[in-house]
Every structure is written in C-alpha cells, then in structure tokens.
C-alpha cells in the first residue's frame, strides 16, 4: 500500500514536472517565435526604409538631372536668339563662322524632335547658303575658308538644298588647291574628311593624314603632353588642345551621327584620347577658358564618353558664363586672330556643347 501511494505520488510529481517542463518549453518556443517575428519585422522595416531612401535618392537624382537639362535648354534658347540677332556674314568678316553656323544647324537639325525645330534650323542654314551664293566673285584666301566652304556645302547637301554650283566651285578651286593641303596637318584632315563626305577623292586621304596628326604623334612619343613643361608656353599648350579637338572633329566628320570615330584610330590612340579629354578639362576649368572647354565637351560626347571627370561641372560653368543677352563674353583667342566678332565663336561652340 505504501509502495502504491509512493508510486502514485511519484507519478503525480512526474506529471507535474513534465507539465511544467512542457509549459516552460512552450514558453521558450513562444519567446523564440516572438523574437524571430520581431526580428523579421525589424528586418522588413529596415529593408523598407532602405528602399524608401533609395527611391528618394533616385527621385532626387532624377529631379536634379531634369533641372539641369531644363536649365541647359533655357541657356541654349537664349544663345540661339543671340545667333539670330547676330548672324555670321561676309559684312563683318565672319565667313569662317558662317561655316561653323552651317555645321551647327545641320547637327541640331539631325537631333531636332519637332517639325518646327527642324524648319527653324533649315531656315537658318538657308540664309547662309543664299548669302554665299550671292558672292559672285568669291575667292578662297586660306585653308580655314576652304573648311568653311566645304562645311556649308555638306550641310546644304544633307538638308536637300541645290548645291550644283557649290560643287562646281569645289572642283575648280578647292579639290587640287595647295591651300586645301597646307603644312598644318589639322586643316588637311578637316578638308580631306569633308571632301570624302561630299564624294570626292582628296589628294591626301584621311587614313594617311591621321598618322601625321597630333594624336598619332603623342601616341608614338608615349604621351609626351606639353603640360607644365618649361619649354611650353600657354599658347603652345592651347594650340595643342585645339589641334586635338579639331582632329576629333575631322575623324568624326564634325560629330556626324553616322560616323564612329574610334574606327579611325588605333587602340593606343583611343587610349590617348580617353586620357587627354579629362586632362584638358582639368587644366582649363580652373582657368575658365570657355571655348576650349566647350570643344572638349563636344569631343567627349562625340567619343561617347559618359564618365569624364569634371564634365558636369564644365556644363554648369558654360551655363553660368552666359550673359543676359545670350552671349558668353569675349573670346580672347578670337580677338587675337582678328575675327570680326569676338563673341560669336563662343556662342556657337557653347550651343554645340550643350546640345550634344
């Protein structure tokens, strides 16, 4: 009997202990589940917060890009109004800039989205074509004027204007002229590229001219860039960069969308160009030399370089440089060259840089 009672009590105690143990285990499991749930909620909240921050950052970036684009378009609009009010013409000695204008309006026409925009750019080009056609006794005086004449002819032909008389002039006065192939290899490249675009066979083909250019020379000399060298004046360095930008204009036919400039260059030359564009921006942005900065921006976009250090800062500098009436101030280089208008070149290259 005593043994039975002991067993009974032992069974009851064991049952209680098991019950307590199970309850304790359930409590532990409940606590663990609760903790896991809380951690899951915390993780989800953290993810949600990160996604929200990422979305806000993305929206902020998009808003910033949209504001920058809107600002650049407003600057371009004022600059185009300035060009309309101050057109390049023979009267102020602006034939070279008539060539620049013609190329710019052709480039803008190819990128215009509306019929109204296309008509505006075509009308501006028509003014240049008619003024050139009216010069019955026109004579080429130096290589740069040949480049301008060829650029006007190419733009006019591309946009469907009658150009038979221009081609007759080219055949008689340009194709075999010594001025078309001067000692300055950059002009040889520009003129040869334009002649080839117009269907001619120049005496010096682009492929052979490139090998004599600054880009090829710098590549062969292991990037011996004359920056900060005791023998190089500011003018030497500026001329070096102007030659670089104009060689890129030549091999791309002035940024013609149908051309891939890298096809014209060797791998080492491509490497050099990728290196020299940010080098130039880094050099001239602190000096605020607007025209060459604009040309470097155009070259970066022609080469399809999107990650160039200082590119956005340069675009903002160009916008900041615009005066109330739409120009970008006197361009000292144009003054030194004796151009008829010291402002126009800066306006033209600024529009090209902002539009590219």
SS (H, E, C) 36-92: HHHHHHHHHHHHHHHHHHHHHHHHHHHHHHHHHHHHHHHHHHHHHHHHHHCCCCHHH
HSE-CB of 144 using CA atoms within 13 angstroms: 10
Return the residue matching tokens 């492929």: 207
pLDDT along the chain (356 residues), means of 10: 41 40 48 54 61 55 68 95 94 88 95 94 97 92 94 97 97 94 92 94 86 86 57 78 94 81 89 93 95 96 92 96 95 81 94 90
**Residue 17 forms part of a structural domain:** no
Could you read off the pLDDT of 247-287 as tens digits, one per residue?
Answer: 999 999 888 767 788 888 999 999 999 999 999 999 999 99
Is 46 domain-assigned?
no
Contact present, 305 and 274 (Cβ < 8 Å) = yes
Burial label for 46, CB within 10 Å (0-12, 13-18, 19+), is: exposed
Domain annotation covers residue 264? yes
Phi, psi dihedral angles at 18 (to 5 degrees): -65, -40
Please report the pLDDT score of residue 11 as a whole number: 42
Is residue 165 in some structural domain?
yes
Closest CA to 227 of 238, 214, 212: 238
Continuous H helices in 86-163 = 95-111, 115-133, 143-158
Residue-range definition of the domain harbouring residue 311: 80-355
Residue 36 placed within a domain: no
pTM above the 0.85 mark? no
- Domain assignment of residue 23, yes or no: no
Reported as type and span, the H/E element at residue 263 is none
Is 67 part of a structural domain of the chain? no
- Predicted local confidence at residue 68, as pLDDT: 85
* Structural domains in the chain (count): 1
Q: Which residues contact 218 (CB under 8 A, 6 or more apart)?
A: 224, 225, 272, 276
Distance between CA 105 and CA 121 in Å, rounded? 5
Q: Residue 73 domain-assigned?
A: no
pLDDT of 62: 56
């Amino acid at each position: 009997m005593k043994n039975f009672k002991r067993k009974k009590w032992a069974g009851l105690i064991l049952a209680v202990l098991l019950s307590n143990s199970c309850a304790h285990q359930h409590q532990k499991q409940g606590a663990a589940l609760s903790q896991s749930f809380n951690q899951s909620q915390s993780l989800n909240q953290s993810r949600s917060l990160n996604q929200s921050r990422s979305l806000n950052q993305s929206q902020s970036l998009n808003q910033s890009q949209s504001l920058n684009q809107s600002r650049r378009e407003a600057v371009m609009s004022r600059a185009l109004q300035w060009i309309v009010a101050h057109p390049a013409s023979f009267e102020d000695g602006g034939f070279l800039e008539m060539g620049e204008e013609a190329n710019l309006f052709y480039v803008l026409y190819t990128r215009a989205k509306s019929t109204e925009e296309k008509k505006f750019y075509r009308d501006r080009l028509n003014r240049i074509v008619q003024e050139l056609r009216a010069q019955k006794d026109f004579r080429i005086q130096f290589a740069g004027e040949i480049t301008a004449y060829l650029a006007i002819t190419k733009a006019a032909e591309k946009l469907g204007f009658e150009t038979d008389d221009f081609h007759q002039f080219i055949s008689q006065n340009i194709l075999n002229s010594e001025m078309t192939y001067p000692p300055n290899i950059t002009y040889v490249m520009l003129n040869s590229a334009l002649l080839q675009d117009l269907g001619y066979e120049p005496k010096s083909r682009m492929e052979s001219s490139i090998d004599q250019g600054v880009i090829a020379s710098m590549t062969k000399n292991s990037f011996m860039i004359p920056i900060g060298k005791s023998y190089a004046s500011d003018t030497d360095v500026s001329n070096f960069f102007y030659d670089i930008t104009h060689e890129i204009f030549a091999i791309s036919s002035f940024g013609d969308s149908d051309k891939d400039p890298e096809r014209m260059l060797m791998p080492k030359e491509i490497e050099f160009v990728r290196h020299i564009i940010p080098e130039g921006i880094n050099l001239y942005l602190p000096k605020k030399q607007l025209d060459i900065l604009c040309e470097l921006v155009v070259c970066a976009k022609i080469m399809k370089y999107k990650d160039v250090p200082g590119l956005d800062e340069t675009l903002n500098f160009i916008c900041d440089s615009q005066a109330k009436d739409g120009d970008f101030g006197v361009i000292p280089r144009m003054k030194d060259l004796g151009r008829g208008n010291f402002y126009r070149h800066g306006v033209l290259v600024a529009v090209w840089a902002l539009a590219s």
